[in-house]
Amino acid sequence: MYQLRSAPISELPVALMDTVPSRLTVLDLSAGPVSRPSISLLPPAPEHLSGGPATLACLLSGYSPQGAVVVWELDGAEVTEGVLTSPEVEQKAGGYSSSSTLTLSQERWVQGQLYTCRVLHHHDTQIQSLHRSQCGG
């Protein structure tokens, strides 16, 4: 696992001493390997497709270290309104999990075609997409 530790300013190279605060949090990369998240993109529940808001869920599990970021896209454009992302939780079996939901009005749901959950994790990007036609809506 990666570990965060506080380091005194005296451990930094002299050239950086004037540009950083008196204490710095350092990510210890020697503590373990990077594990990619397993990703599941869940469509809205069928009963929500006939009226009311539609909610998609992107579930992440089994990754390490922390630091996964979820970006939602609608027809290739980033969406921030209606996004709710949970804090990362350490799993008993190891690694971390989190989830993110995108809730759209019925009008916005039917106007869109392609819904994408893009996961950024330690210089790696994974994409899960679904077409509205796959959801029966």
Q: What is the pLDDT of residues 79-137, one digit of tens each?
A: 999 999 999 999 998 899 999 999 999 999 999 999 999 999 999 999 999 999 988 75
* 28 pLDDT higher than 90: no
- Which residue ranges form the domains of the chain, and what is each CATH number? 1-32 (no CATH), 38-135 (2.60.40.10)
Whether the upstream peptide bond of residue 43 has omega within 30° of 0, thus cis, is no
Q: What pTM was estimated for this model as a whole?
A: 0.75
Rg (CA), the chain: 19
